[in-house]
């Protein structure tokens, strides 16, 4: 069966994954019309804003949108029209961890995926290749297929593919331009293989063929969870070692450097930190835990759960170190938290370690000044409110102040806590920071970012993750 030549793509979901991914497809495939749709009007308005004030901050993204928008890239809330016109539809909606019901706290909430799938089934009048792009538990494609087949019209067939996205925020555009691999999972039927070829042909416009991997549907779904679990596992392993370093006088940076030289281990993803965040790692591991339990594999579930527990321990340990170092109390003391995003070069705050740290400092009745170069004030209040749902926002605002520069945040503080590795924190005028702080002035580097010796020479008392 000859593969369909894709000329119109619809992407349902204009978030951190769908937006950049499909914008890059549009850029690299000028012969394909790409419609990115979302139910959220303000998000779409931002994607369409004349001054390119896009809803997400991602280095290089504005450039991509500037070149393709209005040419073959369009953003809209008209989901049905985009579905009707497309040959290929990416489902790129959110799949947060369930908050209530069966599997609460572990399983993925597939409500958004299901609603989007039902909409495709109801609206489509011609054959569609439906591509699962959101991170979803294993066998979600099967559920999507059941919904589509049960609701399809005559002469309207659906082929399901799984095409997980491996981009990391902050480097999304370069990851999309030159991916390590593109993974496409399909049923191993003639139709499945043909649909897979259609999507492979889209990527082949800029990705070398040998980097486009075709596997079975369920291997593809599991590979996404597995990749994130393995990456997060490295960080938790290094963070576990950082606790040993702090207790023994070893230096985690040196340990990471030494083990990274082993070509079997490799140097990446061995940076100790105050804990990993982001929308994927914790969610995907908890998915894996839930899946393992459902499959009656309790030892496997416990193994992966420990990766998340180690991450929680790392955050708790760091907050405690701050309190211990500040003479066992931070009540009424002002603490500057530099960084609120879960990593540098993004405005995304999902599962950011900074949220936990600030909550811990609040419960010790400290006064917190927070500064982040990209996260909006509204987002900070939203996250802090969600972290302490029982505390009225007015009370949170009595103890937390949002600052507009690192220098302003550090003024009159007793301690500076680096929570995100923004490059600008490395380059701030630390002499001026020191001059404005109460003494002794403490710095807690949760990201192995600053030159501790240089800061000590200025007069700071510096505490670094993974060093005694
Ligand atoms: C991750 C995966 O890398 C990506 O392939 C997948 O598609 C989505 O999930 P992302 O969450 O955007 O991407 O960022 P990533 O760079 O993986 O960082 C995740 C967290 O780990 C961040 O909080 C980061 O600061 C932390 N991290 C990363 C460390 O603490 N140490 C490291 O060595 C690397
Ligand atoms: P991710 O990081 O996975 O991209 P986001 O939350 O950033 O997740 O983006 C998901 C987007 O999907 C949101 O903008 C949300 O409004 C959108 N969305 C969810 N359900 C639907 C739907 N049924 N139709 C269209 N858009 C949807």
* β pairing state of 8-12 and 158-162: unpaired
Tell me: is residue 165 an annotated ligand-binding position.
yes
Q: What is the pLDDT of residue 340?
A: 98
Q: What is the pLDDT of residue 98?
A: 86
> Residue 34 forms beta bridges with which residues?
9, 73
Ligand nearest, relative to CA of residue 344: 1
Q: What is the pLDDT of residue 153?
A: 84
Instruction: Work out the burial of residue 197: count CB atoms within 10 Å of its CB; fewer than 13 is exposed, 13-18 middle, 19 or more buried.
Output: middle
Statement to judge: residues 100 and 245 lie in one domain: no
Statement to judge: residues 420 and 337 lie in one domain: yes
Which residue's CA lies nearest to atom 17 of ligand 2?
Answer: 13
Q: What is the pLDDT of residue 71?
A: 98
Q: What is the pLDDT of residue 154?
A: 84
CB 90 within 8 Å of CB 84: no
Instruction: Give 215 Cα–ligand 1 centroid separation in angstroms.
Output: 25
From 207, 234, 252, the end of a domain falls on 207
Give the number of the atom of ligand 2 that is nearest the alpha carbon of residue 95: 3
Statement to judge: residues 288 and 194 lie in one domain: no
- Active-site annotation holds for 280: yes
Statement to judge: residues 186 and 235 lie in one domain: no
pLDDT in tens, the chain (468 residues): 789 999 999 999 999 999 999 999 999 999 999 999 999 999 999 999 999 999 999 999 999 999 999 999 999 999 999 999 999 999 999 998 888 888 888 888 899 999 999 999 999 999 999 999 988 888 898 899 999 989 888 889 999 999 999 999 999 999 999 999 999 999 999 999 999 999 999 999 999 999 999 999 999 999 999 999 999 999 999 999 999 999 999 999 999 999 999 999 999 999 999 999 999 999 999 999 999 999 999 999 999 999 999 999 999 999 999 999 999 999 999 999 999 999 999 999 999 999 999 999 999 999 999 999 999 999 999 999 999 999 999 999 999 999 999 999 999 999 999 999 999 999 999 999 999 999 999 999 999 999 999 999 999 999 999 998
Per DSSP, which regions of 77-154 are E strands? 88-91, 128-132
- Helices 353-363 and 377-387, packing angle to 10 deg: 60
Q: What is the pLDDT of residue 253?
A: 96
Which residue's CA lies nearest to atom 13 of ligand 1?
Answer: 168
Give the number of the atom of ligand 1 that is nearest the alpha carbon of residue 232: 21
Alpha-carbon distance of 338 to 406, in angstroms, equals 7
Q: For ligand 2, which residues put their CB under 6 angstroms from it? A: 12-18, 37-40, 43, 79, 92-94, 112, 115-116, 134, 279
Closest alpha carbon to 195 in 407, 421, 2 = 2
Q: For ligand 1, which residues put their CB under 6 angstroms from it? A: 165-169, 228, 231, 235, 269-271, 273, 276-278, 280-281, 342-343
Statement to judge: residues 234 and 118 lie in one domain: no
Q: Which two tokens stand for residue 142?
A: 């099967």
Q: What is the pLDDT of residue 1?
A: 79
Statement to judge: residues 451 and 406 lie in one domain: yes
Return the number of other C-beta atoms located less than 10 Å from residue 264's C-beta.
5
Instruction: Give 185 Cα–ligand 2 centroid separation in angstroms.
Output: 22
Domain assignment present for 421: yes
Domain assignment present for 3: no
Tell me: is residue 101 an annotated ligand-binding position.
no
User: What phi and psi, each to the nearest 5 degrees, are found at residue 73?
Assistant: -125, 125
Statement to judge: residues 187 and 305 lie in one domain: no
Statement to judge: residues 199 and 230 lie in one domain: no
Give the domain range for residue 384. 221-468
Annotated catalytic residue, options 138, 196, 280, 410: 280
Tally of structural domains, the chain? 2
Domain assignment present for 395: yes
Specify the CATH number for the domain of residue 139: 3.40.50.720
Domain assignment present for 213: no
Statement to judge: residues 235 and 127 lie in one domain: no
From 207, 242, 277, the end of a domain falls on 207
Statement to judge: residues 17 and 91 lie in one domain: yes
Q: What is the pLDDT of residue 104?
A: 87
Statement to judge: residues 310 and 388 lie in one domain: yes
Statement to judge: residues 88 and 135 lie in one domain: yes
């Amino acid at each position: 069966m000859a593969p369909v030549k894709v000329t119109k793509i619809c992407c349902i979901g204009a978030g951190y994954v769908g937006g950049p991914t499909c914008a890059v497809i549009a850029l690299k495939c000028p012969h394909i019309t790409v419609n990115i749709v979302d139910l959220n009007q303000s998000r779409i308005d931002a994607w369409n804003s004349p001054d390119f004030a896009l809803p997400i901050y991602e280095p290089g993204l504005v450039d991509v949108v500037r070149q393709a928008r209005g040419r073959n890239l369009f953003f809209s809330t008209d989901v049905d029209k985009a579905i009707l016109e497309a040959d290929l539809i990416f489902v790129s909606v959110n799949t947060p961890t369930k908050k209530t019901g069966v599997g609460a706290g572990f399983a993925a909430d597939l409500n958004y995926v299901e609603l989007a799938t039902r909409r495709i089934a109801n609206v489509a009048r011609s054959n569609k290749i439906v591509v699962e792009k959101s991170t979803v538990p294993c066998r979600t494609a099967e559920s999507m297929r059941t919904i589509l087949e049960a609701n399809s019209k005559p002469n309207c067939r659906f082929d399901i593919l799984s095409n997980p996205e491996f981009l990391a925020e902050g480097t999304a555009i370069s990851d999309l331009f030159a991916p390590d691999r593109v993974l496409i999972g399909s049923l191993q039927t003639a139709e499945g293989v043909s649909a897979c070829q259609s999507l492979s042909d889209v990527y082949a416009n800029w990705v070398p063929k040998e980097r486009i991997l075709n596997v079975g549907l369920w291997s593809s779904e599991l590979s996404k969870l597995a990749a994130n679990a393995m990456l997060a596992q490295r960080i938790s392993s290094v963070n576990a070692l950082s606790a040993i370093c702090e207790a023994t006088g070893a230096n985690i940076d040196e340990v990471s450097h030494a083990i990274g030289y082993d070509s079997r281990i490799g140097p990446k993803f061995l940076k100790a930190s105050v804990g990993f965040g982001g929308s994927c790692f914790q969610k995907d591991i908890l998915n894996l835990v839930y899946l393992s339990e459902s499959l009656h594999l309790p030892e496997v579930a416990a193994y992966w759960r420990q990766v998340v527990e180690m991450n929680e321990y790392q955050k708790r340990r760091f907050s405690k170190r701050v309190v211990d170092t500040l003479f066992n109390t931070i009540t009424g003391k002002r603490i500057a938290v530099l960084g609120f995003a879960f990593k540098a070069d993004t405005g995304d705050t999902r599962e950011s370690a900074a949220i936990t740290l600030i909550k811990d400092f609040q419960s010790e009745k400290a006064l917190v000044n927070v500064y982040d170069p990209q996260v909006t004030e509204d987002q900070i209040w939203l996250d802090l409110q969600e972290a302490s749902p029982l505390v009225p926002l007015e009370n949170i605002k009595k103890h937390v102040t949002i600052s507009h520069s690192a220098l302003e945040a550090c003024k009159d503080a007793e301690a500076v806590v680096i929570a995100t590795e923004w490059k600008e924190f490395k380059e701030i005028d630390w002499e001026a920071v020191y001059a404005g702080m109460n003494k002794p002035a403490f710095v807690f580097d949760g990201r192995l970012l600053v030159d501790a010796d240089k800061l000590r020479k200025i007069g700071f008392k510096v505490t670094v993750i993974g060093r005694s």
